[in-house]
Amino acid sequence: MAVRSSHDTARARALEIAKGWIGTPYRHQASRKGVGCDCLGLILGIWRELYGSGVEIPRAYSADWAETSPGEPLLDALRERCATVDVNDMRPGDILAFRWQAGAAAKHLALLAPEKRIIHAYEGHAVIASPFVPHWRRRIAGVFAFPHH
């Protein structure tokens, strides 16, 4: 219960910010609203608007980094900075991390939105709000709440 109530303000604000990113073109390693971003860049951009500063992360990563890097670098980074949320308690405004296949490291991020949708930067397209269908739900590797400040 504490995670829900203490993070609701950050969730609502993150959703408001994310909606402003919809339509931003997909650009690998970028994080500029209206100019370009990838899925990590979207979350980093939301973070900057929420807290007024960025998060220190290594930005040089290849498109296949999750296949060539050991461990779970994306999940580890989220665990260090955010509250972990049980998948059954996720709420709009939470960060979702996905695996493309079983056994692979998590490498895609989205923000859970109302009405069974997710907001994410989709490779080859743009930041979109798409249906949160079973295909996505099966691939959840972790759910995280933005810190409340």
Give the model's confidence band at 2: pLDDT under 50 very low, under 70 low, under 90 confident, else very high: very low
In this prediction, residue 64 carries a pLDDT of: 58
Q: pLDDT tens-digit profile of 20-49?
A: 999 999 999 899 999 999 999 999 999 999
DSSP state of 101: S
In this prediction, residue 135 carries a pLDDT of: 93
Cα–Cα distance, 78 to 136 (Å, whole number)? 19
Radius of gyration of the chain (CA): 14
Q: Give the CATH number for residue 115.
A: 3.90.1720.10
- Give the predicted TM-score (pTM) of the model: 0.88
How many CA atoms are closer than 13 Å to the CA of 15, on its beta-carbon side? 16
Q: Which residues form the domain of 87?
A: 2-55+70-145
| Average pLDDT across the chain, whole number | 88
Which tokens is 2 given?
Answer: 């504490």
Phi, psi (deg, nearest 5) at residue 77? -65, -40
Number of domains forming the structure of the chain: 1
Q: pLDDT tens-digit profile of 120-149?
A: 998 889 999 999 999 999 999 999 999 876
Cα–Cα distance, 66 to 62 (Å, whole number)? 9
